[in-house]
Amino acid sequence: EVVMTQSPATLSVSPGERVDLFCRASQNVNSYLAWYQQKPGQSPRLLIYGASTRATGIPARFSGGGSGIEFILTISSLQPEDFAVYYCHHYNKWPRTFGQGTKVEVK
Amino acid sequence: EVQLVESGGALVQPGESLRLSCVTSGFTFSNYWMTWVRQAPGKGLEWVANIKGDGSEKYYMDSVKGRFIVSRDNAKNSLSLQMNNLRVEDTAVYFCVRDSWGRYYGSGGFDYWGQGTLVTVSS
């Protein structure tokens, strides 16, 4: 099983700041990596797939990068609606696994 | 508009069974892998099971193998999860999810999610 490790667990930031979230896989997952955003009481929303492709309707301030075992999700200028928990997820092989999540909270 | 609506969540005792259902609309159901993802209260996301569009392939997380069965009825655009011998640790919101993997070159990720249905296993 591929273990996905996200860092940091919590990030305290102010609106307008740049945010970098990290995800590391325990083995090579190529570019079969997705990122999701989940707000309290809501279902997750797909942000990025293929490590770097924005999903339909996702603002350009969200970008993804990396391949192999190291990945990054960048929010170029954090908006008030971006405070949420972010998860990475690989789909390179079975079983699929998620990271434990990074909570982006108000500083 | 793509819609996924789960039902069937309930409070059950350990060892009991429960069947979750998901009715979908707005897309050609048989063209997509479908997924169940769960989330324990206050915890992260956990992939549970996947089933191929024609139902010919199924995959499960280790802790539910032999207890859960994923199935689909393409004529009714519906997905099901039969959960047997439930354990306290199966308590979670269960999401029905569309998997875009394999639809076209480079596609992937869980692109549409239902609102979830709560399963509580407690004595």
Smallest Cβ–Cβ distance between B44 and the set A45, A91, A100 belongs to A100
**How far separated are the first and last CA of chain A, in Å rounded?**
35
Using the 8-state DSSP alphabet, how is residue A44 labeled? -
A45 chain-B contacts, CB cut-off 8 A: 113
Q: Are B94 and B81 in contact (CB under 8 A)?
A: yes
- Give the tens place of pLDDT for each residue, B26-77: 999 999 999 999 999 999 999 999 999 999 999 999 999 999 999 999 999 9
Q: Are B39 and B31 in contact (CB under 8 A)?
A: no
- Give the tens place of pLDDT for each residue, A23-77: 999 999 999 999 999 999 999 999 999 999 999 999 999 999 999 999 999 999 9
B45 chain-A contacts, CB cut-off 8 A: 36, 38, 44, 87, 89, 98, 101
